[in-house]
Chains A and B, each alone.
Chain A
């Protein structure tokens, strides 16, 4: 991991229009991603967590331009220069796209069931005119072995593989173009527990070998904690908090992070079962609350929270640590270890 910034996102917005009536009049917007700024360093893993509808998947897909953002800039480092993906020329965009790949959640819909594994993994190669048919086949064989499958399995079809193996095939396809950044959209949440660990280990090993960066989108906090260097917590299209993993989990500076940590079920029967939970449910992103979007659920909310929207700011006392809460400097929040401390002598 170097300290070089690979990708810098500024004021990214994605508003989906809500249309009504015969003439499809736009009556409002779902602010799926609302003014999000962050960066990823080369070779690091940035975890992106949040509940459903918080905009984490949309953010991930905007980076690949699978969804056209409404506003903002996404600058990607290429040949020591930063190119804005959203304003790039067609040829330039083509080159950048090779450097950013994606792994999906659903191991079934992510592979075209009508293509052999060889064709699936070779597709990015032939589309981008890398090598000829024979060298492509050879590369497919190598990639399959890299992700823990056998080269001879390349002539099979996806349905002959288990969920975990299909996810490995998806990873092999993402690796084919030797990317610098892989967006992982809930890559293990559809897998069985025992298989999930295999895939997590594989992903970490591959990162070590190739040195690419991950954006790891997941709702499972313990998986994110395990794999990420830094973590970004999103709520209703905005970033609530961003910091290195250890700090986020042990010394959160945003009430939402604290509530998320408090909600994690703890298997260990000898740990404290009382918890800080969170009332209510996630409001609709079409109609977010005024002021701080968390205030109806927040236990620390004061009057200002209803009126004024907090801005994501770097903490005064800590570098590289951001939180968007009016009371980020004052609040004493509990970390995971405090919340889930072991009850001794049970």
Chain B
């Protein structure tokens, strides 16, 4: 299975150095992304999901944020690999990966596009940065990409400015731009959160369709469990800078282990189920002020005495799940260490 590996993250730590002290936005996160799969990352505000994704392409906000530990290894198609954590954030090498191998789309399509250039110029710039193409070829590629993402009359639209497009259209342009260089991994950070539900459905369908066509992996980051369920093959649940659970999407919904995952699922209203919601107590902790032991313990309905004292390790369960919770201490099959 090792040949399928696209990205390997080991014990990633990204900290922010603020005046009030160190904020451990991402604290010891390890995971893999396989070729062509969709890894869903779900969590609430401040859980570190966005910072994790920014760390992957060395785009942690400067000067406060810094990757302080861990390895990120990217595997090229020819089985060569590169340690992204060892590259300079401004160097030539990371730029060849960023955009070409790993592309990214963000929540806010308005601010991600430059209002003074036409969308065609912006896609062409992305194309010419990574591919040896002249202006005409790049323009053709831009039109081809716009067509691919379902923008009608791409030959006209290519010369329009971002403000002439609706929010959904802009997100399509962002996707066209991100995919213009055939990346192997697309990081999508809340790509549909700002969109209306009918537009969200269009974009999600588009992403699924393009993933199949272009055979790329997607790291799909969102706070919305329903979207996660629709998009992902495997899901990673994050809480306060750490991964608390990882499982296949089916297990997340039908065989979930971590009390937090269960709490999240019970918190969302489901159509046709007129039951009282079971919320999680309290609120998301501030990263500046984390509780001792397991970070979730103060809100956890199943917390035990040990949970407030000691941070749980990650336990591997038999059904290929990982869970960071003391409840599974005895059910552990193989220790992580």
Please name all residues of chain A whose beta carbon is closer than 8 Å to the beta carbon of B167 when the two chains form the complex.
281
Shortest CB–CB separation between residue B333 and chain A, in angstroms? 24
Chain A residue nearest to B46 (CB atoms) is A192
* B201 on interface, CB distance cutoff 8 Å: yes
With most chain A CB atoms within 10 A of its CB, the pick from B167, B205, B227, B267 is: B267
Shortest CB–CB separation between residue B220 and chain A, in angstroms? 12
With most chain A CB atoms within 10 A of its CB, the pick from B205, B225, B230 is: B230
| A266 near B279: Cβ-Cβ < 8 Å | no
Q: In the complex, which of the residues B274, B277, B283 contacts A192, with contact meaning CB atoms closer than 8 Å?
A: B283
| B230 near A267: Cβ-Cβ < 8 Å | yes
Q: Which of B104-112, B191-199, B304-312 contacts A (4 or more CB under 8 A)?
A: B191-199
* A9 on interface, CB distance cutoff 8 Å: no
A227 to B268, CA, bound (A): 12
* B226 on interface, CB distance cutoff 8 Å: yes
Shortest CB–CB separation between residue B284 and chain A, in angstroms? 5
Interface residue total, chain A, C-beta cutoff 8 A: 47
A residues 262-282 in Cβ contact with B at 8 Å: 262-270, 273, 275, 277-279, 281-282
Please name all residues of chain A whose beta carbon is closer than 8 Å to the beta carbon of B198 when the two chains form the complex.
51, 259-260, 263, 277-278, 281
Q: In the complex, which of the residues A164, A226, A227 contacts B283, with contact meaning CB atoms closer than 8 Å?
A: A164
* B228 on interface, CB distance cutoff 8 Å: yes
| A194 near B253: Cβ-Cβ < 8 Å | no
A3 to B223, CA, bound (A): 39
When each residue 269-281 of chain B gets 1 if its CB lies under 8 Å from chain A and 0 otherwise, what string results? 1111010111111
Please name all residues of chain B whose beta carbon is closer than 8 Å to the beta carbon of A27 when the two chains form the complex.
none
* B131 on interface, CB distance cutoff 8 Å: no
* A135 on interface, CB distance cutoff 8 Å: no
Shortest CB–CB separation between residue B280 and chain A, in angstroms? 4
Chain A residue nearest to B194 (CB atoms) is A52
A172 to B190, CA, bound (A): 32
Q: In the complex, which of the residues B201, B272, B284 contacts A195, with contact meaning CB atoms closer than 8 Å?
A: B284
| B253 near A197: Cβ-Cβ < 8 Å | no
Q: In the complex, which of the residues A194, A226, A265, A282 contacts B196, with contact meaning CB atoms closer than 8 Å?
A: A282
| A194 near B271: Cβ-Cβ < 8 Å | no
Q: Which of A17-25, A75-83, A217-225, A309-317 contacts B (4 or more CB under 8 A)?
A: A217-225
A residues 190-247 in Cβ contact with B at 8 Å: 192-198, 200-201, 204, 219, 221-223, 225-227
The B contact surface, by secondary structure, is helix
Shortest CB–CB separation between residue B251 and chain A, in angstroms? 9
When each residue 112-137 of chain B gets 1 if its CB lies under 8 Å from chain A and 0 otherwise, what string results? 00000000000000000000000000
A172 to B225, CA, bound (A): 30
A52 to B200, CA, bound (A): 12
With most chain B CB atoms within 10 A of its CB, the pick from A269, A279, A281 is: A269
Please name all residues of chain A whose beta carbon is closer than 8 Å to the beta carbon of B79 when the two chains form the complex.
none
Q: Given the known inter-chain contacts A200-B277, A277-B201, please indicate yes or no for A269 contacting B269, CB distance below 8 A.
A: no
A residues 13-46 in Cβ contact with B at 8 Å: none
Q: In the complex, which of the residues A52, A200, A250, A267 contacts B225, with contact meaning CB atoms closer than 8 Å?
A: A267
Please name all residues of chain A whose beta carbon is closer than 8 Å to the beta carbon of B229 when the two chains form the complex.
265-269
Chain A residue nearest to B232 (CB atoms) is A269
* A322 on interface, CB distance cutoff 8 Å: no
| B283 near A197: Cβ-Cβ < 8 Å | no
A162 to B299, CA, bound (A): 15
When each residue 55-78 of chain B gets 1 if its CB lies under 8 Å from chain A and 0 otherwise, what string results? 000000000000000000000000
Interface residue total, chain B, C-beta cutoff 8 A: 47
Q: In the complex, which of the residues B169, B226, B280 contacts A197, with contact meaning CB atoms closer than 8 Å?
A: B280
Q: In the complex, which of the residues A195, A221, A227 contacts B271, with contact meaning CB atoms closer than 8 Å?
A: A221
Please name all residues of chain B whose beta carbon is closer than 8 Å to the beta carbon of A221 when the two chains form the complex.
197, 271
Please name all residues of chain A whose beta carbon is closer than 8 Å to the beta carbon of B44 when the two chains form the complex.
192-194
* B264 on interface, CB distance cutoff 8 Å: yes
Shortest CB–CB separation between residue A227 and chain B, in angstroms? 8
Please name all residues of chain A whose beta carbon is closer than 8 Å to the beta carbon of B263 when the two chains form the complex.
194
Q: In the complex, which of the residues B197, B264, B284 contacts A263, with contact meaning CB atoms closer than 8 Å?
A: B197
A51 to B198, CA, bound (A): 8
| B205 near A277: Cβ-Cβ < 8 Å | yes
| A219 near B197: Cβ-Cβ < 8 Å | yes
| A275 near B201: Cβ-Cβ < 8 Å | yes
* A104 on interface, CB distance cutoff 8 Å: no
| A222 near B269: Cβ-Cβ < 8 Å | yes
A144 to B41, CA, bound (A): 36
Please name all residues of chain A whose beta carbon is closer than 8 Å to the beta carbon of B205 when the two chains form the complex.
275, 277
Q: Given the known inter-chain contacts A269-B249, A273-B230, please indicate yes or no for A226 contacting B204, CB distance below 8 A.
A: no
With most chain B CB atoms within 10 A of its CB, the pick from A196, A204, A249 is: A196
Chain B residue nearest to A52 (CB atoms) is B196
A51 to B202, CA, bound (A): 14
B residues 159-178 in Cβ contact with A at 8 Å: 166-169
| B279 near A194: Cβ-Cβ < 8 Å | yes
| B278 near A193: Cβ-Cβ < 8 Å | no
A200 to B253, CA, bound (A): 22
* B266 on interface, CB distance cutoff 8 Å: yes
A200 to B271, CA, bound (A): 15
When each residue 192-222 of chain B gets 1 if its CB lies under 8 Å from chain A and 0 otherwise, what string results? 0000111111101100000000000000000
Given A266-B229, A277-B198, 18 additional A-B pairs, CB 8 A: A51-B196, A51-B197, A52-B196, A162-B284, A193-B223, A194-B264, A194-B280, A194-B299, A200-B279, A226-B277, A260-B198, A265-B200, A265-B201, A265-B224, A267-B230, A269-B250, A270-B254, A281-B166
Chain A residues near B (Cβ < 8 Å): 51-52, 162-165, 192-198, 200-201, 204, 219, 221-223, 225-227, 249-250, 259-260, 262-270, 273, 275, 277-279, 281-282, 336-337, 340, 346
- Interface CB pairs A-B, < 8 A, 28: A52-B196, A162-B284, A192-B223, A193-B44, A193-B223, A193-B224, A194-B267, A194-B283, A196-B279, A197-B277, A200-B277, A201-B276, A204-B276, A222-B268, A226-B269, A249-B272, A264-B197, A264-B271, A265-B200, A267-B268, A268-B229, A269-B250, A269-B253, A281-B166, A281-B167, A281-B198, A336-B271, A337-B272
Going nearest first, the 3 A-B pairs with the smallest beta carbon separation are: A267-B229, A197-B279, A226-B269
